[in-house]
Structure 1
């Protein structure tokens, strides 16, 4: 059968387009494969570190239980386990997470090389909470030892420091964290050069009961989440708890943080924000994505309208699980991060194209959600303006 000149031209054009598209597809697949390899290596490193610090993490949990005078579940009989005491949540000032003036919030500023100081700040809040409730014989933060002492009143034990650290390394590590907290105006230290400067440390952010505080369940410490989660994960988890009373979609009781608010008020960078994938993997969050144009965290089509943020539901019951068991099991069962579309064999999972059946319905639902967000944002702005005038 003879091929007309027009058909030949069409075939040549389609073939040329295919030649241009194939390298793009292969390059993208190779980039995703490299990202999956890097993710698998990082997860394995984290898992190895958990294995090395298993005894220290268990000691930190034991120290938290002893500090709050709460027996561990494995030490309770079945009859006593049902009558476990209920301890009030720890209250953390919202100002350390949410920008209320010209200063950058302290917790997001510490994420990075100074991230370890976040754990120390939370541990100090735990000790203060135990003192306020009268659950310990400690009378002040100064009664907690800076040495890796065998008793529970020891910062290195409560923070899960490696047992092979020398006393000098422990002291230097604590002092660096205290200096970072002082720079963020979270603690007050003695005068520079004064004897016992670091032993007189005290928090400068007193927690007062009210809506201006973020409530953190005591199980966060009793089950070791404060030493198992990374500083970015801790910062995001606290930020979502802070946003729960302000940015909440009441129809589904989910929390969301618009991008502008996330950057300007909470000062959560994109890298910190992506930690929600790990928090969801560890069952601390339930995540939903109302944005139909997003794939692997990126918008696939040009966004002429604002991009809908992720929605989260905080799962409080998950804090009752032992952090080491939960995180190590998740890291072992899946080699790559859930934020990558990679199956167990390491192959890339190709999603359906954007123009799929039901996309128009998803777009209409997204518009309804966007209107809901606007109503929540307007109410929040009015509340902020009212608090300023009062």
Structure 2
């Protein structure tokens, strides 16, 4: 565990300046109405359960999961980038029920920002060897990979109108509705959710304080699940999720569920642990005739207002006793 924490701390240290810069760019765009980014619930939750036998040893196939857990990757930026696009669409004042216009180029310049200015990577300029690569080059490649993923036939969260062009094939991409392929064969363009549509509200500080860049995909998906549970039950505390619901409606396996440990370490949630379950939620010892109480979670929403990199560096430093 200490080795993993040290590697995580080094990645954050490498990204720190980039996270600060990208967070500032997000603030410059504006602020979504109400101080929240609205995300339709079908992004994280299936209205109809996954219709295949599933367990923590055999988690649902990615093609059948909701969008958020479908596009998770260990090192890619597809999930983060799509959420950043929703922030950008709402922060720049796109009217409710209207489709946003993507006017940003993929790569920014010294004068004008681009999508590359809104992401952060654990990367450095490559100055040695036969090929020189700037940070902007690496960001472009990462965004192109994310857009390929988001526009794939089994995902369809993005449309690439110039996909068949010789150049600029990723420019002026268009967002599609959060449910992607689960909506049906014809996915409508993304529009800002109306009040009556089921949605979760993600505080803007999740973006402007750098959490979107610092957290891993599994941690982001877990947090989205918590905010969805808050919408369902109208409270931020005492949240518990049955393993069947977690697997068949959120498409989330045990490894993603265990992301709560890092979120607790960073102060974003608190965990009331069941004494008869381990950190991954497994009953110990297992008895089919007796299932112990579930872990219960409380969202610490105010904690999102703290600067993510400082919180993480202090937390990991303390735990590593540096």
Identify whether the pair has TM-score above 0.5, normalized to the shorter chain. Answer: yes
Distance 2:169 2:120 in 1: 23
Paired position in structure 2 for 1:63: 25
Residue of structure 2 aligned with 1:185, choices 143, 156, 174 = 156
1:132 corresponds to which of 78, 81, 93: 93
Bigger mean CA offset, 98-107 vs 174-183: 98-107
1:302-347 Cα offsets, whole Å, 9 max, x none, are: 3222343221111110010000000111111002xxxxxxxx79xx
Paired residue secondary structure (2:267): coil
**Greater Cα radius of gyration, structure 1 or 2:** 1
Q: CA deviation at 1:141?
A: 5.0
Aligned match of 2:47: 100
- Confirm or deny: 8 A CA contact 2:263 2:269 kept in the other structure: yes
Q: 1:66: how far off?
A: 1.1
Q: Unmatched 5+ residue regions in structure 2? A: 51-63, 126-132, 178-190
**In structure 1, C-alpha distance between the alignment counterparts of 2:25 and 2:251, rounded to whole Å:** 32
Equivalent runs, 1:205-220 vs 2, <5 Å: 205=177, 206-208=191-193, 209-210=195-196, 212-220=198-206
User: Are 1:330 and 2:292 counterparts?
Assistant: no
For 2:65 and 2:278, locate their aligned partners in 1 and report how far apart those are by CA, in whole Å: 31
Residue 90 (str. 1) matches residue 37 (str. 2): yes
Matched, 1:201 2:165: no
| CA shift in 2, pair 1:296/1:124, >3 Å | closer
The structure with the largest helix share of the pair is: 1
CA, structure 1 residues 292+158, in 2 after alignment: closer, same or farther (shift >3 Å)?
same
Given that 1:152 and 1:158 are in contact with CA atoms closer than 8 Å, whether structure 2 keeps it comes out as: no
Contact 2:283–2:291 under 8 Å retained in 1: no
Q: Which residue of 1 aligns with 2:141?
A: 172
Query: For the structure 1 residues 40 and 157, does the alpha-carbon distance in structure 2 shift closer, same or farther, using more than 3 Å as the test?
Result: same
Aligned to 2:213: 227
Distance 1:113 1:283, change over 3 A: closer
Contact 1:67 1:152 in 2 (8 A): no
Q: Does 2:103 align with 1:143?
A: yes
- The 3-state SS of whatever aligns with 1:111 is coil
Higher relative contact order (CA 8 A, sep 6+): 2
> TM-score w.r.t. structure 1 length?
0.65
**TM-score of the pair, normalised by structure 2:** 0.78
Q: Structure 1 unaligned segments of length 5 or more: list them.
A: 1-38, 71-85, 336-343, 346-390
Q: For residue 90 of structure 1, give the secondary structure of its aligned residue in structure 2.
A: strand
Q: 1:315 to 1:207 in 2, by over 3 A?
A: same
> What is the deviation of 1:179?
1.2
SS of aligned partner of 2:109:
coil
Match of 2:114 in 1: 154
